Amino acid sequence: MKSIYIFVFMIGFSSCQSPNIHDYKYQIIQSSSTISIDGIGNEDTWTKAKWLPIDQNWVGPDLSKEDFSGRFKLAWDQKFLYVLAEIVDDTLIDIHSDPLKAYWDDDCLEIFIDEDLSGGNHQYNHSAFAYHIGLDNNVADIDTNQKPVLFNDHIESKRISSGNKHTWEVAIKIFNEDFSISKRNTPTRLTALKEMGFAIAYCDNDYSSTRENFIGSEIVVGEDKNRGWIDAGIFGSLILIPEK
Distance of CA 45 to the CA centre of its chain: 18
Quote the CA–CA distance of 138 and 108 in Å, as a whole number: 10
Between CA 20 and CA 233 the distance in angstroms is 20
CATH number of 19-241: 2.60.40.1190
Task: Compute the 3-state secondary structure of the chain and give helix, strand, coil in percent, each to the nearest 5.
Answer: 10, 35, 50
Domain boundaries, the chain: 19-241
Dmax over CA atoms of the chain, in Å, equals 76
Is residue 2 classed as helix, strand or coil in its secondary structure?
helix
Q: What is the pLDDT of residue 18?
A: 63
pLDDT at position 19 is: 73
Q: Of 118, 117, 99, which is closest to residue 108 (Cα–Cα)?
A: 99
What's the confidence (pLDDT) of residue 17? 55
Can you give the pLDDT of all 244 residues of the chain as single tens digits?
Answer: 444 443 333 444 343 456 787 789 999 999 988 999 999 999 999 999 999 999 999 999 998 887 899 999 999 999 999 999 999 998 999 999 999 999 999 999 999 999 999 999 999 999 999 999 999 999 999 999 999 999 999 999 999 999 999 999 999 999 999 999 999 999 999 999 999 999 999 999 988 889 999 999 999 999 999 999 999 999 999 999 998 7
- The DSSP element (H or E) to which 140 belongs, if any, is strand 139-142
163 Cβ contact partners less than 8 Å away, ≥ 6 residues apart? none
Q: How many CB atoms lie within 10 A of CB 208?
A: 11
Length of the chain: 244
> What is the pLDDT at residue 7?
39
Q: Which pLDDT value is given to residue 33?
A: 87
Residue of 220, 198, 224 lying closest to 56 (CA atoms) = 220
Cα gap 228→46, rounded to integer Å: 27
CB contact at 8 A, 228 and 141: no
Contact (CB, 8 A) for 122 and 227 = no
